[in-house]
Structure 1
Amino acid sequence: MVKNTLFVKFDHGCLDASSSDSLCISKKVNGVYNVIFDNASPRPAVGQKKLLTNNTFKFTTQYQVYFTQDYENDALINSATDPKDIDVGQVVEWQDNDISDAAKADIKVLSTDQAKSSFAVKNAPREFHVAVKASTGNSWSTIFVDPNEHMSGGTITLTPKNEYVLYWYNVADNEYIHEVFEADAFKFSFPPGDSNRTIRFGYATQDQPVDGSESPNFYIVD
């Protein structure tokens, strides 16, 4: 398990205290970003984090899987089963109307290469969508819901990536499906061997806009 820490800082004057937009974070799983797993706003809703000049977000590579019956963009996620802990190289199975505890996957389920970065769900019912949670420190947040329909009894492979996006959106709930196009968001990852990353929202030269026409953007801080 890796404990990642993301620091997000704002240039002077770039945090609009009157804005109700949320700064949202999504993680790539199976090649897509489709769930907001953490967010904060200058004008937070009840239970939401307040966005400040300096912000810290923590999340880990510790995972759980569960099923949900619905997949709808811009909708809240409703769990149909309890989540089960899982790690890369492991598999859970749908049996007796429940998800089994995770066990090491044999090579027929996950190849040697897949077992280094993926986990699997066997015999997923056709009417369910597999979902993945990740630990965000003291709680768990959904990071992905499989949008696809599968033949009953198949095996679904799930591959979380060290790839994330930041973007602004008018949402105030984490357990919320939102399909994100990479071109519409700021992409980042954690460097090899480093679990910390700092990102600044502001101008090309910190705190110094060229003129009134320069819009603030996201920049990685070395």
Structure 2
Amino acid sequence: MVNNTLIVKFDHGCLNPSSSDSLCISKKVNGVYNVVFDNAAPRPAVGQKKLLSNNTFNFTTNYQVYFTQDYSNDALINSATDPKDIGLGQYVEWQDNDLSEAAKADVKLLSTEQAKSSFAVKNAPKSFHVAVKASTGRSWSTIFVDPNEHMGGGTITLTPKNEYILYWYNLADTEYVHEVFEGEAFKFSFPPGDSTRTIRYGYATQDQPADGSESPSFYIVGA
């Protein structure tokens, strides 16, 4: 397990306290970003984090899998089964209308190379979509829902990546499907051996806009 810490700072005057937009974080799984797993807003909704000039988000590489019955963009995710803990190189199986506990996958299910970065769900029914949760410290948050419809009875391989995006969106809830076009978001990752990343939202020269036409952007600190 890796404990990751994301720090997001704002240049002076770049955080609008009247805005209802949320700063959203998504993680890449199976090549896509499609779930908001954490967010905060300058004017938070009930239960939402308040976005400040200096913010810390914590999340880990502990994973769980479960099924959800529906997949719809811009909709809340509804769980159809209890989540099961799972690690890289492991699998769970749909048996007797429930997911089994995780076990080590053999090479027929996950190749030696796949086992380093993936886990699997075996015998998945066609009526469900596989979903993945990650630990965000004291709680769990969904990071991915498989959007694809399958024939049923097969094996679905799930590959979380050390790739994340930040973007602004007008929503107030996690556990929320939102399919993101990568070109509209700021991409980042955690360098090898470093579990902390600091990102600044502001100007090319910190706290100093070039002129009235310069819009704030995201910048990695110390890159």
Instruction: Pick the TM interval, shorter chain.
Output: over 0.9
Matched, 1:34 2:34: yes
- Cα deviations by residue, 1:71-91 (Å, 9 ceiling, x for unpaired): 000000000000000000000
Q: Within 5 A, what are the aligned runs for 1:166-181? A: 166-181=166-181
Q: Which sections of structure 2, spanning at least 5 residues, go unmatched?
A: none
User: What corresponds to 1:160 in structure 2?
Assistant: 160
Map residues 1-222 of structure 1 onto 2, 5 A cutoff: 1-222=1-222
- Letter matched to residue 80 of structure 2: A
Residues in 2 aligned to 1:50 and 1:152: alpha-carbon distance in whole angstroms: 42
- Deviation of 1:40 after TM superposition, in Å, equals 0.1
Alpha-carbon displacement from aligned partner over 1:22-65 (angstroms, at most 9, x marks no partner): 00000000000000000000000000000000000000000000
SS at match of 1:94: strand
Q: Which amino acid aligns with 1:40?
A: A
Q: Deviations over 1:163-188 (max 9, x none)?
A: 00000000000010000010000000
Superposed displacement of residue 151, structure 1: 1.3
Distance in 1, Cα, partners of 2:151 & 2:86: 23
In 2, distance between residues paired with 1:139 and 1:180? 24
What secondary structure, in the 3-state scheme, does the structure 2 residue paired with 1:23 have?
Answer: strand
Give the letter for the 1:116 counterpart: K
User: For residues 100 and 76 of structure 2, what CA distance do their matches in structure 1 show?
Assistant: 25
Query: What is the percent sequence identity of the aligned residues?
Result: 85
Q: Distance in 2 between matches of 1:150 and 1:121?
A: 12
CA drift at 1:114: 0.2
Q: Which segments of 5 or more consecutive residues in structure 1 lack a partner in the other structure? A: none
Q: Deviations over 1:80-131 (max 9, x none)?
A: 0000000000000000000000000000000000000000000000000000
Instruction: List per-residue Cα deviations over 1:134-159 (Å, max 9, x = no partner).
Output: 00000000000000011110000000
Work out the CA distance in 2 between the residues paired with 1:119 and 1:112. Answer: 12
Q: In structure 2, give the amino acid aligned to 1:219.
A: Y
